[in-house]
Amino acid sequence: MWAYITQGLSLGFSAGAMPGPFASYLIGVTLLYGWRRAIWVILSPLITDGPIILLAVVVLRQMPPALIALIQLVGGIYLLWVSYGGVKRLRKGVTLEANPNAGRSALGRGLIMNWLNPGPYIFWATISGPLLVSALRESLLHGAAFLLCFYGMLLLGLAGYVVIFDRLRHLDQRVVKLIFIITTLVMLLFGLSLISQGITALITPASG
């Protein structure tokens, strides 16, 4: 049992602390709307990962590599679209908003981003999925302990981003704008990288 608890905590910490498109998006939402809106975005993995885990553990490893490539391509395009929205906001001027609907719309974008991000699929198909299957073979309690520790540490890591950048949003607006520019550029670069990887993966088998 303790082995699965330790593995869940370690993997959850790594996933929460690892920079990526979702973390960049979470930071941007926190800067714009504050922690009360960004906290909704943290819940995205809890909603999206169920089908992802099922696909990764049961189906994905039997699927052709082109499936991951397609997810990379579509996910990259979506990140470009989100980045474009950030660029439009920058052109208008970054302002801190108190829109009561911002939390729900931000959560919706977070859900789509998770579903179109190949990272969770690969992560659960290659790393966490086999560990979960192994834990479930021991007992349901072992599997539940692994998942609880993983998501507990993951959510704590994401909450750390929210706390830190919620404090930073109260600094000079020029600083907030600079951080927002950086997060937008990071999402743009991730999007271009995913598109490049997807196209390469789709073309390479055909040329081979």
Residue 15 pLDDT class (50, 70, 90 cuts): confident
Dist CA 119 CA 66 (whole Å) = 15
The more confidently predicted of residues 103 and 20 is 20
Using one digit for the tens of pLDDT, what is the confidence trace for 44-56? Answer: 888 888 888 887 7
Give the pLDDT of residue 80: 84
Annotated domain spans of the chain: 2-207
Query: Mean pLDDT over all residues of the chain?
Result: 79
Give the number of C-alpha atoms closer than 13 A to the C-alpha of residue 47, restricted to the C-beta side: 14
Distance (Å, whole) CA 85 – CA 159: 24
**Identity at 94, one-letter amino acid code:** V
Question: pLDDT by residue (tens digit) across 97-137?
Answer: 545 455 567 788 888 888 887 778 777 877 787 788 888 88
